[in-house]
Amino acid sequence: MVTVQTEDFDVAALYQALRADAPQIGAIVTFTGLVREFNDDAAVESLYLEHYPGMTEQVLEGLIATAAKRWPIINATIVHRIGELRPAEQIVFVGVNSAHRDAAFAAAEFLMDILKTKAPFWKREQGPQGDKWLDAKASDDERATRWH
């Protein structure tokens, strides 16, 4: 399941939905990303997240389909927020369930790593120095290449 929304999300409810899926589930891995107060040593007052409506959902659905071919996962959930976000707010949720933990851990990490380099989201940071669009990080590209 893929959701792109401005509202906050409830991790407990998303976890319960993954748990309710089927009796063969032996493992659930969840990841939540939050807005940091400092990014590369610069203070962040707020973050604005833009995306490409329609394309984002297709890319994220495609990532889940790829993960499901690569690992024996049962289901996966991705929730990504857009719009104005403040430090400590939740931005992104990835949850995966499977019979055993190895597939769930690997698929969750894969989804997060590839989301960061392929899903059409862009962050604009607002701080004491004004606003600026963030540049993509080489370290994120390197992490993503591990899964090729």
Partner 1 sequence: MPTIKILYFAKLRDQLGCAEEAFELASDSCSVSELKKTLAERDSAWQQIFTESQVLVAVNKAMANTETLIQAGDEVGFFPPVTGG
- Which spans of this chain sit near partner 1 (rule: CB under 8 A)? 33, 49-52, 54-55, 58-59, 80, 91-92, 112, 115-124, 133-137, 140
Task: Output 70 or 118, the one with its CB closest to partner 1.
Answer: 118
Task: Output 102 or 140, the one with its CB closest to partner 1.
Answer: 140
Task: Output 27 or 82, the one with its CB closest to partner 1.
Answer: 82
Q: Which helix (H) or strand (E) holds 89?
A: none
SS3 string, 23-39, reads CCCCEEEEEEEECCCEE
Q: Report the nearest approach of partner 1 to the CB of residue 128 (Å).
A: 20
Task: Output 82 or 99, the one with its CB closest to partner 1.
Answer: 82
Q: Report the nearest approach of partner 1 to the CB of residue 138 (Å).
A: 10
Task: Output 27 or 143, the one with its CB closest to partner 1.
Answer: 143
Token pair 């976000």 in the structure block, residue:
85
Q: Report the nearest approach of partner 1 to the CB of residue 24 (Å).
A: 30
Q: Residue 73: exposed, middle, or buried by beta-carbon count in 10 A (0-12, 13-18, 19+)? A: buried
Per the CB < 8 A criterion, the answer to whether 62 and 2 are in contact is no
Q: Report the nearest approach of partner 1 to the CB of residue 120 (Å).
A: 6
Per the CB < 8 A criterion, the answer to whether 85 and 91 are in contact is yes
Directed axis angle between helix 138-145 and helix 101-118, to 10°? 140
C-alpha 93/C-alpha 78 separation (Å) is 6
Q: Report the nearest approach of partner 1 to the CB of residue 46 (Å).
A: 15
